[in-house]
Each structure stands twice: as structure tokens, then as C-alpha cells.
Amino acid sequence: MSQRPNVLLILNDDMGYSDIGCYGGEVSTPNLDRLAANGLRFSQFYNTARCSPTRASLLTGLHPHQTGVGILVDDDGPEGYAGNLNQRGVTIAEVLKAQDYHTYMSGKWHVATDIFNPNDTWPRQRGFDRYYGIITGAADYYQPVTLTRDNDNAEHEALADDFYLTDAISDDAVRNIRDHAAANPDQPFFHYVAYTAPHWPLHAPEEDIAKYKGRFDEGWDVLREKRLKRLVEQGLLDPSLALSERDPSQPAWEDADVKEWRLRRMEVYAAQIDRMDQGIGRILQALENTGQLDNTLILFLADNGGCAEELDEPFTSFLKKRRSLLERAKDGSPIVYGNNPRELPGSQRTYQSYGVAWANLSNTPFRLYKHWIHEGGISTPLIAHWPAGIGEQGGIRHSPGQLTDIMATVLEVTGAPYPQTYQGRDILPFEGESLAPLFKAESDDRGRGPLFWEHEGNSAVRTGPWKLVRNYPEAWELYDIEADRTELNDLAADYPDKVRELSGLYEQWAARAGVVPREKILEIYSKARGEDISGGAHFIQK
């Protein structure tokens, strides 16, 4: 058996910081909790606040704008916003494959503009020996469009009555692990498992939904307070941290209407995470049964914070125009698109999201959501498990990090060199810093450089205790993130020199990373779509 470690990278989709059990949540996640209890949890790890940019950054160790995926996968923007994973970087799979690793992927890709025709931005062309999953960004769990095996359309596989995408992703990963152990016992593997759960639509098996009946009946206000208490008790957050206010657009739970429907939405969302955890359990069992668990570095994280998108009529009309959505379910009944209180979600006959108030709970104790660079949009759980390389069990690391650090970490633990050129083209140097020193002990003196973000004009820079952040097109806000991670006390007026210093760092990074000013992006999209959307700060999310 190879002494070089296997690497299993698990990413899930649109899940908040505090949903899973080992991060204070009510959702039953015994397998993730087991990994945390026998490994490490990171309390201040960050994604990029959106699906496609996170995936591009995670795969390459670059900032998303450098990869060609500055926003999503629409091909109507400038360089850095073309929507395709470009050739200026290399994926983890490409780097490790050159070092005789076998490479596998199961799940959601979402870094290619053309989602129907195989091209050089698809997984098999970007270093993966095997691929099974969806190329697009969201899909019906019972009958997903763009289901693909290697480079071939596999949508026919979803016609089976018992098909469910989360299970299919898990089962494919199990198959790859077993096949690898049988055929290549002396070589290591890299496996990227990218679940779509719990991204909308709210689809889950009824037996899983039933487990959560009554679990959320206390409502979002009480549950947010209880989650924060558990996060503090678990040692993830400081006892002095104040809970952010409920989203002002949402009613107090006691004043909310149609409670049965609202509760059902959160119950289905929880069931989606539960089903994913069950699949992770089968993956762990496959690693154990094949003797590979101890020397496999497992990393689990989410691609952005909880998603506050409401699937209203304009949103669903956009989805129907931009994607191939089904008209009817497998049983022949019409699919009702949009958040409709007259329809309880869960079955294929519905297509709903869980909405703002529950996303506010998912992101406890932080502010805002997916799309935004405040803590609710970018904070993710990160679990690291590796018995052969991480001796501490149940440890917590408070040192900050972000997605670009994953490439650096994988390179260090595998000993793989990062290329200056790849297949005859120059490659940008990766941007991250390895987390591997933190596998041994907490170390706040690593000299971690500034962290940077930009998405749809929302921007931030963090260095030391300071975070400068803005919600486009509003002014910069300044927070002492160590004392006030829930971003309640804006210090910009008190420290104008610090605002100038950090905004200067941000502008230097933005120029180097290829961030295009938001005003320019709005102008480009207006021309491309033949309509004036210059006043829309977040139009692209719809």
C-alpha cells in the first residue's frame, strides 16, 4: 500500500455554518460528527460566497477571478467572468495525476459554460480519470438534467423509480474506492465528492423528512439562540460573541403565518443533509473495509453560506428560460415551480427553497447569506480527519483560512510539486497557504497573509483582527473580527486610517487578481442582454 496519503475532498452545497451537529445544529450528522470527534474542526474557515467561484478556487488554489469564474458560468462577461475554468491554472486532479495518483470525481461540476457538450472545461479534461455527476449547478434530485458519466450523458440512469441524486453520488464514490483498492492497491487516490445537497429544490425521501417532524417547532428565533449556545459550549465561538439580529425582512416566529408549510421546508432541508451524511457513512465504511481510512486525508466543507433565495415567479421564470427544467414528474403529474404554501415540498412534484428566515438560522450567529461577503455568506465548517497525520482527536483550530489553502495543503501532505508550466502553457502560482502545520497544533504565528474576497461587488479584506467589508454599492464597514465576528459594531468612522490602509490592500489585490469593477460588469451585462440592469446590485443571482 502506498505511504503517500489518499485525499478525499467532500464539498456540499448551500449549507450554513451551524447546520450540522458538530457545529451546533439540529440536523443528525453522526458520520460528520465522528470525523470531527476523531480529527479537527476549523472555526474560521472561509469560502467565496457562491457555488461556481468556490469550486473554481477550491480546485485550483487561485482566486475565482483568475480562473475565469468571477461570478457564475454565464458567457457574457470579460476575462475573469467568462464562466469557464480557464487554462491559467491547474486543478488538484491534474497536479496529483502527474504524480501517479488515481483521480476520481462524484457530484456537481458547475465550472463550465457549455453544460451539454463535452469540452476542455469538463472533469475528464481537467485531470479526473473517472467522473459521474451533474455538469450544471442545480437539478431535480429525482431526475437531474446533465447527469453525466465520464463524457457521456447518463440521464437515462435517473429514470429508475428509486433514483435519488445524493445517493447516486455516494454510491459512485463507494464504487470508486472499492475498485481502486482492488485494482491499484499500491497507488494513492484523490477523490472529489461534490454533493448538491442541500441546494434547492427541496427534494428528499419521505422517511428522512419524517425524522425531523417537530425538530424545528420552536421556530427560528429560539433555535438561533440555542445554536449559538451550543457553538460556545463546543468551543467553536467565544462566549462573549453576541447573536446578530433576526433578518429585519422576516417576522418573529410567533407572528409567522402558514407554519406547517414553513416547518416542512426546514424539515426537508434537514433531510437532504441527513441523507448526505448517510452516504458519507457508506464512503467511510468503504475506506475502512479496504484498509484505506487511516491514511486518507478527509476534508469536508460547504461552498457558501445558507441560501436566502426565494423561488418566486421571476426567479422560476428565469430558471425555465436558462436551464432545461422538466415539465412533469416521473409519475406523470405536473411539477409546480416556486415557493407555494399550498404545496408541501419534498416530492418531485414540487420545486421550492427554504427561504430567508431559515437561511438566517443556518448561518447562526452571523449576518447575511450566500452572495454576500459578511460572515454569514462566507463562513463554512471545515473538518479535517487523517489518523496517520492528525494525532489530536476533537481539536479545534481558530486560525483563519480560505479555499485557496486547500491546494497548498494537499501539495504539502502529498509531496506533489506545483508546476510552473502545464502542457506547454504558463501557470499562475497558487495563492494559498498550507493548513498542514495546524494539523500538529494551533499556531497563530504562521504569518498568515491577508484574506481577500469579491463577488458581485461585495468585497472584503481581512488581516489580523481587522475585516473591511462592503455590501455593494454601500460604503466600507470595518470590524474587529476577533471581538465582534457577528459584525454588529462598525468601526469605520472611528478608524479612518485603518479603512484607508485595508482598502488600499484590497485595491492592489483586486487589480492583480483581475477583479472587474462592478459598474463595468453591470454595463457589460446590460449590453449583452439588451436591457438596462445598471441599478441591480444582485441581478445575477436571478
DSSP assigned state of 346: B
CA distance 162 to 447: 51
CA distance 321 to 318: 5
Is 307 one of the catalytic residues? no
Using left for φ > 0, alpha for ψ between -120 and 50, and beta otherwise, residue 530 falls in: left
CB 488 within 8 A of CB 440: no
Residue 259: CB partners within 8 Å, gap ≥ 6?
Answer: none
CB 181 within 8 A of CB 290: yes
Cell of 23: 457545529
CB 168 within 8 A of CB 196: no
Q: Taking Cα atoms as reference points, which of 96, 4, 36, 97 lies closest to residue 295?
A: 4
CA distance 438 to 391: 11
User: Which residue in 22, 51, 65, 374 is the catalytic one?
Assistant: 51
At which residue does the C-alpha cell 457549455 appear? 114
CB 37 within 8 A of CB 286: no
CB 449 within 8 A of CB 425: no
> What is residue 190's three-state secondary structure?
strand
CA distance 387 to 379: 26
Q: Taking Cα atoms as reference points, which of 5, 182, 7 lies closest to residue 93?
A: 7
> What is residue 278's three-state secondary structure?
helix
At which residue does the C-alpha cell 498550507 appear? 434
CA distance 326 to 501: 51
Q: Is the dihedral angle over the CA atoms 428, 111, 134, 403 positive or is it negative?
A: positive
Q: Taking Cα atoms as reference points, which of 413, 390, 414 lies closest to residue 101?
A: 414
> What is residue 3's three-state secondary structure?
coil
Is 110 one of the catalytic residues? yes
User: Which residue in 63, 65, 102, 110 is the catalytic one?
Assistant: 110
CB 433 within 8 A of CB 28: no
Q: Are strands 458-463 and 6-12 parallel, antiparallel or unpaired?
A: unpaired
**Residues labelled as active-site residues:** 51, 110
